[in-house]
Each structure stands twice: as structure tokens, then as C-alpha cells.
């Protein structure tokens, strides 16, 4: 059996022993040092006393991580009907692509060359300590097998659980596995935040309005909040030990300070920590101030009283693969300067690559990361 076929088989069996929360998570909270998550090797003593403190120490020392923006939007390469709609992962929003039209992309989503074994080896060779994958971006398409939606990679042409495949490889190789999840924005769920109620950028501006979106008295944000809680619980139950839940979409809840409590965000944080005590929580530059670390984007100039991570791209601008943004990927010299700057801020660098539509990694990024790893090893 080929390696990738073995990965598909393993990930498809998320309920099997490899991803059993009993084998990999529940027992990890006992006193036996051997049971700590593989990425926390070397932190056994701290983990036995305080799992989250061990995870914070690991994060502070990690310095360098890999970000992956991959989903249905990758197939469009930043274009819709000939028009460029940057950034590429926002193509549904910018192009005002109707839900029925956008969901057709799932039939073309093969992820044929998405290779978790290669990706994790590439990250390790580059000197990276953790990987963050977009499990569900604003378009609501899931790269994992969720029972709360049919809009997922296991129902696509790929028939694969990409979160499961990457989780297996990270666990085997001692990499922290961090999970991006779109919290504040959702362009598909009927009860997700609507424009007007939550600013003007929560949903695409469809004309005529999208008939599946619930509005007025028919809209119930509580349904959406419960949906998110359930999906995040799946991610923390079915895929072994997780390093962090990395939430995005902060502009939506922040747009209405008088309604921010409706998202029950602190309750979500508490639920996350109850499921896996070592898991860290981040919400970009901080929504409530109770997050375990901040993770603002590249232009952040502030300070932080908690651990800090700066995220940036290997493409010049876009996070998801953008055909028009394909020239001028950052070379090793520039990445080394980015690492130096992050270090001066006391921050980690979370460096993003947007895989091609087939899931393969841009050769310029592979070359850059290989050279960066070489230089880091040389000191």
C-alpha cells in the first residue's frame, strides 16, 4: 500500500485507536510522563503539574511554525469569472459567488497532492516546531469529518480527512498541531452573523439576498454558537492531542460591543480547556483578553502581556494560493529577517504557504524553507 493510501486509511478511521481520545488524550492527563503528547517531549515534569503551563513554555520556545491556508477557495486561485478577488481565500466574498455555485467546487476538490508526510518533513527540516491548518475558513468548508455539516472534504472528490492525515504525521514526528477555525465569520451557515446586525462585512453582499440566510426573528445566533462549539469539540476529541485552537474573524464580534456576549466566547474557551487541558487558545490580537497567546497579522506594532505570534505569508500578499500573487515569493534572506524581527519582539513567526489547488506546495516555498532550515542549523 502506498504511503498516501495508508494515510487516507488511517485518517478515515478517526474513531480507531490512533485518534482515540482515550488512548491519546484522556490518559495523557495522568501522572505517567510517557503519556504526555509527543510534541511536549522534554516538558514532562511541568506537564505533570500543569499541562497548559507546559504548552505555554513549549510555545514560547518554539519560535517558528508553519501556517497552511487550503480549501475550496484554492481551486479558484484568487479569480472568479475573470476578475481578481484578493486575498484568494476571500474569493467567495469578493466575487459574491452564490452558495449553490460555490459548493460545486467540492466535486473538483481532489487534494490529490496534499501529502501530510511531505509537509511535516518540510516543516521539520525548516526548523519549525508546529503546524497550523485551516480546518474551516470563512466559507465554512471543513477539512475534517464533521457530523454537523455535509460541507466537508470527506464529502468532496477527495473523500479524505485532511485534518486527520496531518494530525497523524504531527503526532508521529513530535510537531505541535494547531487548528485554525473561523469563529466570527461564516458565509454559509443560516444562523451565522448577518450584515447589519454585525457590521457590513459578516456576509457577502448578495443581490438579491441569499434565501438560505435567516434574518430578523427567524435568525438565532445561539444555533450558530452551538454549531461552532460542537465542531471544535469534534476537533478536540477525534484527532489526538492538539496544541492550540486558533480562532479567526475577530472583526465580526468586535463590531458590536453590546452584543459580544452572545458569542459565549469565554464559555467556549473554558470548554476547550476542559476537553484537553494543555490546549492553548488564541483569537488574533485578543478578543476578551483571556486568551493564552496573541496571534496578530504581519503589521502588528503593539506589545503583549501574553506570548506573541506574528503570522505572515510566503506569497507577497495572499494567504490562500493566488495566481496573480505568484511572483516574488519570499526568499530565505527575507524569511531570516522576519525571524530576526519576530525575535526582537519576543514573538514566534507563523509563516504561511498556500498550497496549489491539488494540495502540493509551491516549489519556491519548498526551496526557501529548505534553505532557512539549513541556515538555522548552522547557527
Measure the CA–CA gap between 46 and 52, rounded to whole angstroms. Answer: 9
Closest Cα to residue 110, out of 184, 162, 148, 43? 162
User: C-alpha grid cell for residue 147?
Assistant: 457530523
Q: Any idea what the CATH number is for the domain that residue 245 is in?
A: 3.20.20.80
CB 318 within 8 A of CB 352: no
Question: β-strand 176-182 against 83-84: which pairing, if any?
Answer: unpaired
- Cβ neighbours for 306, distance < 8 A, ≥ 6 positions apart: 286, 291, 292, 293, 294
Residue 25's pLDDT is 40
| DSSP-based three-state secondary structure for 309 | strand
CB 173 within 8 A of CB 24: no
- Cβ neighbours for 330, distance < 8 A, ≥ 6 positions apart: 313, 314, 316, 338, 368
Sole residue written with cell 502588528: 300
| DSSP-based three-state secondary structure for 313 | strand
The count of structural domains within the chain is 1
Measure the CA–CA gap between 196 and 156, rounded to whole angstroms. Answer: 33
CB 169 within 8 A of CB 116: yes
User: C-alpha grid cell for residue 282?
Assistant: 488564541
Task: Return the number of other C-beta atoms located less than 10 Å from residue 222's C-beta.
Answer: 10
Measure the CA–CA gap between 244 and 255, rounded to whole angstroms. Answer: 25
CA distances from 206 to 14, 137, 140, 211 (A): 37, 19, 17, 10
Domain extent for 157: 3-378
Sign (positive/negative) of CA torsion 301, 336, 295, 279?
Answer: negative
Measure the CA–CA gap between 231 and 186, rounded to whole angstroms. Answer: 13
User: C-alpha grid cell for residue 206?
Assistant: 448578495
CA distances from 223 to 121, 182, 215 (A): 40, 16, 13
Per-residue pLDDT of the chain (379 residues; tens, 9 = 90+): 445 555 454 444 443 434 544 334 443 334 444 489 999 999 999 999 999 999 999 999 999 999 999 999 999 999 999 999 989 999 999 999 999 999 999 999 999 999 999 999 999 999 999 999 999 999 999 999 999 999 999 999 999 999 999 999 999 999 999 999 999 899 999 999 999 899 878 999 999 999 999 999 999 999 999 999 999 999 999 999 999 999 999 999 999 999 999 999 999 999 999 999 999 999 999 999 999 999 999 999 888 999 999 999 999 999 999 999 999 999 999 999 999 999 999 999 999 999 999 999 999 999 999 999 999 999 8
Measure the CA–CA gap between 219 and 191, rounded to whole angstroms. Answer: 6
Whether the link from the prior residue into 208 is cis, omega within 30° of 0, is yes
Per-residue pLDDT reduced to its tens digit, 308-345: 999 999 999 999 999 999 999 999 999 999 999 999 99
Share of the chain above pLDDT 70, in %: 91
Amino acid at each position: 500500500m502506498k504511503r498516501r493510501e495508508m494515510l487516507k486509511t488511517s485518517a478515515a478511521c478517526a474513531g480507531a485507536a490512533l485518534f482515540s481520545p482515550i488512548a491519546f488524550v484522556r490518559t495523557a492527563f495522568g501522572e505517567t510522563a510517557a503519556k504526555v503528547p509527543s510534541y511536549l517531549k522534554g516538558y514532562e515534569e511541568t506537564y505533570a503539574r500543569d499541562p497548559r503551563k507546559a504548552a505555554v513554555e513549549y510555545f514560547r520556545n518554539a519560535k517558528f511554525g508553519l501556517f497552511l491556508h487550503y480549501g475550496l477557495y484554492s481551486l479558484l486561485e484568487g479569480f472568479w469569472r475573470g476578475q481578481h478577488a484578493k486575498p484568494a481565500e476571500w474569493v467567495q466574498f469578493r466575487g459574491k459567488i452564490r452558495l449553490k455555485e460555490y459548493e460545486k467546487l467540492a466535486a473538483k476538490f481532489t487534494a490529490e497532492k496534499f501529502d501530510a508526510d511531505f509537509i511535516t518533513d518540510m516543516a521539520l527540516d525548516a526548523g519549525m516546531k508546529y503546524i497550523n491548518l485551516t480546518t474551516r475558513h470563512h466559507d465554512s468548508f471543513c477539512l475534517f469529518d464533521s457530523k454537523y455539516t455535509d460541507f466537508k472534504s470527506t464529502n468532496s472528490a477527495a473523500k479524505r480527512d485532511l485534518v486527520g492525515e496531518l494530525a497523524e504525521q504531527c503526532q508521529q514526528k513530535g510537531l505541535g498541531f494547531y487548528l485554525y477555525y473561523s469563529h466570527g465569520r461564516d458565509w454559509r451557515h443560516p444562523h451565522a452573523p448577518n450584515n447589519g446586525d454585525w457590521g457590513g462585512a459578516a456576509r457577502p453582499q448578495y443581490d438579491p439576498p441569499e434565501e438560505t440566510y435567516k434574518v430578523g426573528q427567524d435568525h438565532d445566533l445561539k444555533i450558530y454558537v452551538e454549531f461552532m462549539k460542537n465542531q471544535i469539540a469534534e476537533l478536540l476529541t477525534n484527532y489526538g492531542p492538539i496544541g492550540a485552537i486558533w480562532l479567526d474573524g475577530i472583526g465580526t464580534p468586535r463590531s458590536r460591543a453590546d452584543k459580544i456576549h452572545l458569542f459565549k466566547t469565554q464559555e467556549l474557551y473554558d470548554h476547550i480547556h476542559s476537553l484537553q487541558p494543555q490546549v492553548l487558545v488564541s483569537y488574533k490580537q485578543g478578543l476578551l483578553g483571556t486568551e493564552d497567546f496573541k496571534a496578530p497579522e504581519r503589521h502588528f506594532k503593539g506589545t503583549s502581556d501574553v506570548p506573541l505570534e506574528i503570522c505572515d505569508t510566503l506569497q507577497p500578499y495572499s494567504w490562500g494560493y493566488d495566481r496573480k500573487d505568484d511572483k516574488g515569493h519570499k526568499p530565505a534572506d527575507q524569511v531570516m529577517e522576519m525571524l530576526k524581527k519576530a525575535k526582537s519582539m519576543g514573538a514566534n513567526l507563523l509563516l504561511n504557504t498556500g498550497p496549489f489547488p491539488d494540495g502540493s506546495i509551491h516549489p519556491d516555498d519548498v526551496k526557501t524553507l529548505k534553505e532557512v532550515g539549513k541556515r538555522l542549523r548552522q547557527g
